[in-house]
Chain A
Amino acid sequence: MKEFEPKIVAFLCNWCAYAGADLAGVSRLQYPPNIRTVRVMCSGRVDPLFVLQAFKQGCDGVLVAG
């Protein structure tokens, strides 16, 4: 059986974590392919309801990074 690969929604702040993620790409650093990024203009934009929405859709995890 294939290993369990969770789906994780990642809310990334455009100015911080999203930029950090871009830089990780530029630096060719490798990480697991499980996150699905939702870009927001600020992590303050992430309404807790969004997080709940992700779980309701069946996401296995949520990451909020600002």
Chain B
Amino acid sequence: MAGIGKQRLHLAWVSSAEAQRFVEVVTQTTDSVKAQGKFDPKAFAFELAAAELTLAEETLRWMVGKEVKITTKGDVFGRRWDRDTFESILDSLLERVYQKNLILQAVKEGHTSVRDIHKKIGLDLKRISYLLADMENRNIVEFAGMEESKPIFAAL
């Protein structure tokens, strides 16, 4: 989502007896990362910062932590979600939190109007407005007045 590329992160299960498998995993990972080319953290500094905030976000960590319980035993209301439902909800939450953090980063950098933010992060204007409203409610940003008939925001 942050544009780093899925091919740079690999997950694998290797048991203690599977030396051969370990070699395969490392070789594949290396090949696939090689194909991605050099990663320049400076070029992604903005996205990485947003992603970091996202991963530290409480709701998301809750969702992940509760996954097993919610998909096997049910939530506090006793509803049991199947894995697919859970994952689609988790995905949309992840997207939402990440987008908010992108906006927050943009605001912090001085992109204070919706259009400025749009220019920086490319998200559509409506979505930015919607998320900004939510962020305002949660005291993450505040409405800092009007500038040339555009509302401007500041980070709190």
Q: Which A residues contact B (CB, under 8 angstroms)? A: 4-6, 8, 10, 15-17, 19-21, 23-24, 26-27, 29-32, 34-35, 47-49, 51-52, 55-66
Contact = CB atoms under 8 A, between A and B. Distances in A.
3 cross-chain pairs, A with B, having the tightest CB-CB distances, nearest first: A61-B33, A19-B16, A23-B19
Contacts of B32: 61
Contacts of A47: 55
Contacts, number: 130
B41 A57 contact: yes
Interface of B: 4, 7-23, 25-27, 29-34, 36-41, 44, 48, 51-52, 55-56
Given A6-B38, A65-B11, A31 B27 contact: yes
Main secondary structure of the interface of A (DSSP, over half): mixed
B91 to A, nearest CB: 15
Contacts of A16: 13-16
B22 A60 contact: no
A14 to B, nearest CB: 10
15 contacts: A6-B38, A16-B13, A16-B14, A17-B14, A19-B16, A24-B23, A30-B23, A31-B23, A49-B55, A60-B8, A61-B33, A62-B9, A63-B11, A64-B12, A65-B25
A27 B33 contact: no
